[in-house]
Chain A
Amino acid sequence: MNTAAKTGALQGLQGLQRRNFLQLAGAGVGVGVMAGPGEIAVAASARPAQKQARRNSALEAANKAVVGRWFDGFWGPAWRPSIIRELAAPDMLLQYSLHAPRRGQADILAFMTDFRAAFPDLAFGGTAPLIAQDDLVVGRWLGGGSHTGAAFSDFLAGPLPAATGRKMRFSGITVLRLADGRIDEEIGLDDGVTALGQLGLLKKT
């Protein structure tokens, strides 16, 4: 793994602390089974155990609609840069496991502009209904593209020279956090083993 990838992996873990799932479920039972030494913590974005049993159905439906529009306009086959000003919070965090994290509308615009300059047919789409609770929406997706364009150096695993012709098609799961109808945070796990294997950036030893 190169230095950038190591750094990315560390950044990904630094904010995390292991917590007991019963606590996460709001049961308030600390059985303390989790942890090896030095393994305890709370995700940077974690909130107090959810106590409310009432559902915010209207909010959840509205948030799903926003995420649906975002996935279409940002990740779909018909990329529409104006979707960023419409739906991204000014300081939105965009973080996928294949890439370095991006922060803010300009950085996110640069990310997608470069990604599509390298993969002009880039397109991702949903594979299952969105799951929403309170301010969070979870999306499962599938997609990819053909590397027929510019050289691409935005994968943590390593760079691609221009127009390798390689195709990637992979799945992933993304958790988005919304506030006031805008996306504050989009954190996704890519099936990087599939994508990087297809792109020739990851090999079996």
Chain B
Amino acid sequence: MSKEEDNKRIVGKWFDQFWGATFNPAVIDELAAPDMLLHYSLHAPRKGRADIRAFMTAFRASFPDLAFGGAADLIAEGEYVVGRWVGGGTHTGAAFGDMLAGALPAASGRKMRFTGTTVLRVVGGKIVEEIGLDDGVTALVQLGLMRTA
């Protein structure tokens, strides 16, 4: 089993249990490096396990059906794994202030469904960095936070 195949398994498990339909908070202690960086273009960067747990807890309190999944094969070389994904959720929960573009009042009922590409770096079996580009134009227009001019 090559290092790349190991890293893909780690990222596959992470995406399923962190980003998938059923959130398993224990996956953070299992697979995130203690000082992991999580940075997606829609959100402010997060650093460390506690901050990353707070991010996902708040995201799912606002979007209880949040779920993302793979859209194509993972691509791996060396420490890097690249994932392409699609997903979203319905804003039926708490007010949400973690989009850089603006805040949503509670239970707006708006739905987002968008794609993205993420590059993760895995060292010693732990994810040290997850940097993703969201299709923010799609998500933010759907959420009513931005509009085309």
Interface residues of B in 95-149 (CB under 8 A from A): 101-102, 113, 115-117, 119, 133, 135-138, 140-141, 144-149
B83 in contact with A21 (CB, 8 Å): yes
Q: How many A-B residue pairs have CB under 8 A?
A: 179
Report B100 CB to chain A, min CB distance, Å.
8
B146 in contact with A205 (CB, 8 Å): yes
Q: How far is the CA of A202 from the CA of B75 in the complex (A)?
A: 32
- Could you tell me how many residues of chain B have their Cβ less than 8 Å away from some Cβ of chain A? 55
Q: Is B86 an interface residue (CB 8 A)?
A: yes
Q: Is A50 an interface residue (CB 8 A)?
A: yes
Q: Is A73 an interface residue (CB 8 A)?
A: no
Residue of A nearest to B147 (CB): A205
The answer to whether residues A202 and B146 also contact, given A55-B4, A175-B75 and a CB cut-off of 8 A, is yes
A157 in contact with B11 (CB, 8 Å): no
Q: How far is the CA of A183 from the CA of B145 in the complex (A)?
A: 37
Q: CB < 8 Å: which of A21, A189, A196 contacts B70?
A: A21
Q: How far is the CA of A33 from the CA of B17 in the complex (A)?
A: 8
Q: CB < 8 Å: which of B84, B102, B148 contacts A175?
A: B84
A13 in contact with B148 (CB, 8 Å): no
Q: How far is the CA of A146 from the CA of B65 in the complex (A)?
A: 41
- Could you tell me how many residues of chain A have their Cβ less than 8 Å away from some Cβ of chain B? 59
Q: How far is the CA of A172 from the CA of B101 in the complex (A)?
A: 18
The answer to whether residues A13 and B115 also contact, given A200-B149, A205-B144 and a CB cut-off of 8 A, is yes
Residues of chain A having any CB pair with chain B under 8 Å: 1-2, 5, 9, 12-13, 16-27, 31, 33-36, 39, 43, 45-47, 49-50, 53-55, 60, 97, 128, 131-133, 136, 138, 140, 157-158, 171-173, 175, 189, 191-193, 196, 200-205
| 5 additional A-B residue pairs with CB within 8 Å, beyond A21-B20, A22-B13, A202-B146 | A19-B69, A19-B70, A43-B84, A54-B2, A193-B146
Supply 13 A–B pairs (Cβ within 8 Å), ascending by A.
Answer: A13-B86, A18-B86, A33-B17, A46-B73, A55-B2, A131-B119, A138-B75, A172-B133, A175-B117, A189-B115, A191-B136, A202-B148, A203-B146
